[in-house]
Amino acid sequence: MEHTLAMQIVGSVALLIGLRMNIDPVGFNKDIFGEVEGIESGESSAMRMAIGGGLLALAMVNIYCSFNIEDAVAGKAILTGTAMGLAAFFVTVAAPKFRGYTDSIPTLPMIVLPTMLANCLYSALAESYRP
């Protein structure tokens, strides 16, 4: 997969999720955690919006670079950096379960984040092995 396409895919998915987190943070929280105490609080929504803002930033960087970076080495670096950021995000989503803060790991991010991470790594590594 070409690095620009991989950045556009990751950027688009992150954009959609980030927008959803900011447009309806209460609904997003309920989708992830269900009806739990404090889910409709302003603090919970503010935290969800901040997390969504991080995803929006990731989306903007990837989408912008996909249209303005033509060098394969630069594309590989951006995709590798994005993969590292997604891995850190993935760990922070799973860690609350293992630290005893939640009873389960949210399903959606445990599917979407590794998929985006694999997309980045595949594209970055495929660039290295092209003749």
Q: What average pLDDT does range 11-26 have in this prediction? A: 94
- Quote the tokens at residue 82: 């994005």
Stretch 41-55: mean pLDDT: 88
Which pLDDT belongs to residue 129?
57
Q: How far is CA 13 from CA 41, 86, 129, 131, in A?
A: 27, 12, 26, 30
Most confident option among 5-14, 41-50, 118-127 = 5-14
pLDDT for position 61: 96
Mean pLDDT of 5-10: 94
Alpha-carbon span 109 to 96, nearest angstrom: 13
> How many whole angstroms separate alpha carbon 38 and alpha carbon 27?
13
For the chain, the average pLDDT equals: 89
Percentage of the chain exceeding pLDDT 90? 60
Average pLDDT of span 83-88: 96
Residue 72 reports pLDDT greater than 90: no
The dihedral region occupied by 34, where left means phi > 0, alpha psi between -120 and 50, and beta the remainder, is: left
Residues whose CB is less than 8 angstroms from the CB of residue 80 and which lie 6 or more positions away in sequence, other chains included: 120, 121, 124
How many other CB atoms are found less than 10 A from the CB of residue 103?
Answer: 9
**Is residue 52 predicted with pLDDT exceeding 80?**
yes
| Alpha carbons 16 and 24: distance in angstroms, whole number | 12
